Amino acid sequence: MKLIEDVSSYRNPIIDADVPDPDAIRVGDRFYLVASSFHRAPGLPIFASDDLVTWERIGHALDGSVPEAWFAQPRHGGGVWAPSIRHHDGFFHVVYPDPDQGVFVVTAVDPAGPWSEPHLLLPGLGIIDPCPLWDDDGRTFLVHGWARSRAGRKNIVTVIAVDAELRNPIGSAIDVIDGDLLDGFSTLEGPKFYKRDGEYWIFAPAGGVATGWQTVFRAPTPFGPYEHRITLAQGQTPVNGPHQGAWVDDGHGGHWFLHFQDRDVYGRVLHLQPMAWGADGWPVMGEAVSGGDAQPVLRHPTPFGTAQGPRTLARSDDFVDGRPSDHWQWEARVDPETVVGEGSGLGLRGSPDGGNVRTLPRVLSQNLPGQPCVAHVEVALQTSGADERAGIAVLGRDYAWAGIRRADAGIEAVVAVRTRDDQAERVIATFPLDDARIRVGVTVDADARVRFTLGATPVDPQFTAVEGHWVGASLSLFAAAPYGAPEAIGRFADFTIDAQES
């Protein structure tokens, strides 16, 4: 991966990969960030940084969404929506919503874990995007939004008093901002709660994930009345959104705003904006800090003068001790016996196969980089049942995969595609193999066009990757066998990926 050599400035996005709905804080000299994980497990990825520019994943705050039985199958579009992270009284708190259940809390002394089991703080359908605020007078509040798909209401921000341990609500919920009463506002969501100079601040985006803007609200009390300003919009830049994030002070007098941009197949990528507090008490962001328009910067001096590292999360993996690294997530909450620890490489027990990779729970995924990439992995079938298969997929709402299957005629290499309009997978290419093992290559270009190599044989499936449900596309490893058949075991080794960062 090519590093950014100019230490005087950084380029946006600072993470050009799927980091949905980010929230961040500073604790001491380090910065910590959490993001949505939706249906994938482990959930709630936790990132750390020393300079706000280069981030490394240090773990996950959630083994998998609860209840376990429900999330044993992929629940696309469900699970963990926009979380918040805060540090209070010696504990890190991540507060996250499941739109089908309510608001949960997990806590830890160390952000790398271990984290507590999730506690249901606020039950209810469609309660989303929560964020706590511990006031300096001893009170604690929670702000949240609403999802019309579950609650029948949206474009509203609500505040409720809760206990300091985030165990129970202790007051009535009060709607403090109604976006329908604000000119041009729609889909007001993702609120983050702060207090500064005796005033209460809610940072919240509106207008939709790909088409909206960032707004800041302020009031003399937690319950209003709130006035507002739009502080960041796309303007003349290519940064659509810009949407939903976190205000962070750097501990040296500087202020910054982290937010995402929706890049479709590549997911919601992370940007860093300079921020300052104006003489009138309102924050300004992006180019407005230097007197320009309130639009995102594409390049800016680094906060601490450090060099910017890789801007993707793509990582190779040699599956040490037969286990995947923390750079992977499952498409569902899987049982501990899914990974087979015998032999070299990573062994995966196959899911019962309904002919659709998108519905398989035992699928191991890594986010697609935001730049062109090339990946390779050795794929093998360790078992010998009829109609077993194993491979690597570029997985979204549509997918293409390449690997091995056992057919009536014997073992064969295969490339297949399935779109939302297909009733079954379409086989693009096959050829016989003498052994149930092959090295598979995947190339994804700047336009998300996908090509495979099966050994030395190139195959162009005429397929363009698309996003998943609220997530970007992924590179995914899987094995499967027909319903009622013994479990297939796919084995994967020497996964390498190179993102061609420009």
pLDDT in tens, 143-179: 999 999 999 999 999 999 999 999 999 999 999 999 9
Query: pTM here?
Result: 0.96
pLDDT in tens, 27-86: 999 999 999 999 999 999 999 999 999 999 999 999 999 999 999 999 999 999 999 999
Q: Which residues are catalytic?
A: 21, 189
Tell me: the pLDDT tens digits for 99-151?
999 999 999 999 999 999 999 999 999 999 999 999 999 999 999 999 999 99
- Across 387-406, average pLDDT: 98
pLDDT score of 500: 87
Q: Which helix (H) or strand (E) holds 142?
A: strand 140-146
**Alpha carbon distance 259, 246 (integer Å):** 7
Instruction: List b or e across 199-218, with b for residues whose CB sees 16 or more CB atoms inside 10 angstroms.
Output: ebbbbbbbbebeebbbbbbb
Question: What is the model's pLDDT at position 4?
Answer: 45
Could you give the percent of the chain with pLDDT greater than 90?
95
Residue 350 φ then ψ, to 5°: -75, 150
Q: Give the C-alpha distances (Å, rounded to integers) separating 130 from 21, 71, 144, 221, 315.
A: 12, 22, 4, 18, 31
Mean pLDDT for the chain overall: 96
> Domains of the chain by range and CATH?
9-301 (2.115.10.20), 320-499 (2.60.120.200)
CA distance 269 to 276: 23
Lowest mean pLDDT among 285-289, 307-311, 425-429, 467-471: 307-311
Paired residues of 241 in beta bridges? none
Token readout for 435 is 């052994």
The reported pLDDT for the residue numbered 343 is: 67
Predicted confidence at residue 263, as pLDDT, reads 97
Residue 6 has pLDDT above 80, yes or no: no
Mean pLDDT, residues 16-20? 97
- 371-395 pLDDT, tens digit per residue, is 999 999 999 999 999 999 999 999 9
Q: How far apart are the first and last CA of the chain?
A: 9
pLDDT digit string, tens, across residues 226-257: 999 999 999 999 999 998 999 999 999 999 99
Residue 393's H or E segment, with its range, is: strand 389-395
Reduced 3-state DSSP string for 191-223: CEEEEECCEEEEEEEECCCCCCEEEEEEECCCC
Residue 5: is its pLDDT beyond 60?
no
pLDDT, position 501: 78
- pLDDT for 344 equals 80
Residue found under tokens 């297949």 = 416
Q: How many other CB atoms sit within 10 Å of the CB of residue 184?
A: 9
Query: Would the pLDDT of 502 be above 80?
Result: no
pLDDT of the residue at 1 = 41
| The three-state (H, E, C) secondary structure of 326-390, written as one string | CCCEECCCCCHHHEECCCCCEEEECEEECCCHHHCCCEEEEECCCCCEEEEEEEEECCCCCCCEE
Token representation of residue 271: 């940007």
SS (H, E, C) 60-92: EEECCCCCCCHHHCCCCCCCECCCEEEEECCEE
The answer to whether the CB of 95 falls within 8 A of the CB of 36 is no
Over pLDDT 70: what percentage of the chain? Answer: 98
Distance from C-alpha of 169 to C-alpha of 497, rounded to nearest angstrom: 46
Q: What is the pLDDT of residues 320-356, one digit of tens each?
A: 889 999 999 999 999 889 999 766 899 999 999 999 9
Task: Determine how β-strand 199-206 pairs with β-strand 213-219.
Answer: antiparallel
pLDDT-derived band at 2 (thresholds 50, 70, 90) equals very low
